[in-house]
């Protein structure tokens, strides 16, 4: 697996369980890589949907991907505080083309005031039946929802304001090179 360097730009691709491309982010700046994770920043990043629609992200966001957890975390830095969008998804892989993962529909949104919402449960159930998600994946995803909620409640890792500030500051430093 290719390991991108700090300051390098990568593409992120999310797929659905059936292998179809779901969404692509162009030019995510890598802030840190390790054997287990990738931290990056999207800032007015071009996003292309599977149907060809394109849009730009509105604000800077710190993105966190891990090789063992079945989720990824997007910390959006907004005027009213940090909002989080967490995708329940396969652990990432990386090749010459992109960082890749399978999106499993379930999402958790965390608002600046700490309110949490589990989103897209109906979509998850419909796709689980349509694509026949194996029982072990269903179990893994539900267990990872619990892990995510624990991280949110404990303000662990990306859910710490200091973490987001540290990595956003690093992004600003790298952007000025």
Task: Tell me the three-class secondary structure of 89-154, residue by residue.
Answer: ECCCEECCCCEEEEEEEEEEEECCCCCEEEECHHHHHHHHHHCCCCHHHHHHHHHHHHHHHHHHHH
Query: Which CATH number characterizes residue 151's domain?
Result: 2.40.380.10
pLDDT for position 76 = 98
Q: Residues annotated as binding site?
A: 87, 103, 105, 107, 120, 123
The reply to whether 166 falls in a domain is: no
How many independent structural domains does the chain possess?
1
Domain-located, residue 165? no
Domain that holds residue 25: 8-160
* Cα end-to-end distance, the chain, whole Å: 27
pTM: 0.96
- Asked if residue 173 is part of any domain, the answer here is no
Residue 168 lies in a domain: no
Please indicate, yes or no, if residue 133 is contained in any of the structural domains.
yes
Instruction: Indicate which residues carry an active-site annotation.
Output: 23
Asked if residue 51 is part of any domain, the answer here is: yes
Q: Which residues fall within 8 angstroms of residue 115, CB to CB, at 6 or more apart?
A: none
Per-residue confidence of the chain (177 residues) as pLDDT tens digits?
A: 678 999 999 999 999 999 999 999 999 999 999 999 999 999 999 999 999 999 999 999 999 999 999 999 999 999 999 999 999 999 999 999 999 999 999 999 999 999 999 999 999 999 999 999 999 999 999 999 999 999 999 999 999 999 999 999 999 999 996
Q: Does an H or E element contain 171, and which?
A: helix 161-175
Within-domain flag for 3: no
177 is a domain residue: no
Q: In this structure, are residues 30 and 47 in contact, taking their beta carbons and an 8 Å threshold? A: no
Annotated binding-site ranges for Mg(2+): 87, 103, 105, 107, 120, 123
Q: What is the pLDDT of residue 3?
A: 86
Going through 8-98 in order, the beta strands assigned E by DSSP cover 9-15, 21-33, 37-42, 46-49, 54-56, 61-66, 71-78, 81-89, 93-94
């Amino acid at each position: 697996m290719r390991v991108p360097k700090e300051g390098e730009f990568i593409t992120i691709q999310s797929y659905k369980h059936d292998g179809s491309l779901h969404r692509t982010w162009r030019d995510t700046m890598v802030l840190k890589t390790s054997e287990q994770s990738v931290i990056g920043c999207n800032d007015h990043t071009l996003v292309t949907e599977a149907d060809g629609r394109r849009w730009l992200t509105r604000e800077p966001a710190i993105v966190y991907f891990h090789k063992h957890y079945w989720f990824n975390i997007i910390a959006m830095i907004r005027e009213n505080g940090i909002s989080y969008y967490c995708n329940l998804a396969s652990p990432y892989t990386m090749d010459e083309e992109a960082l890749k993962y399978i999106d499993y529909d379930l999402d958790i949104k965390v608002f600046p005031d700490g309110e949490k919402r589990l989103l897209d449960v109906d979509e998850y159930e419909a796709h689980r039946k349509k694509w026949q998600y194996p029982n072990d994946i269903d179990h893994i995803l539900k267990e990872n929802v619990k892990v995510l909620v624990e991280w949110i409640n404990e303000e662990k890792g990306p859910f710490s304001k200091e973490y987001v500030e540290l990595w956003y500051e690093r992004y600003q430093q790298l952007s000025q090179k």
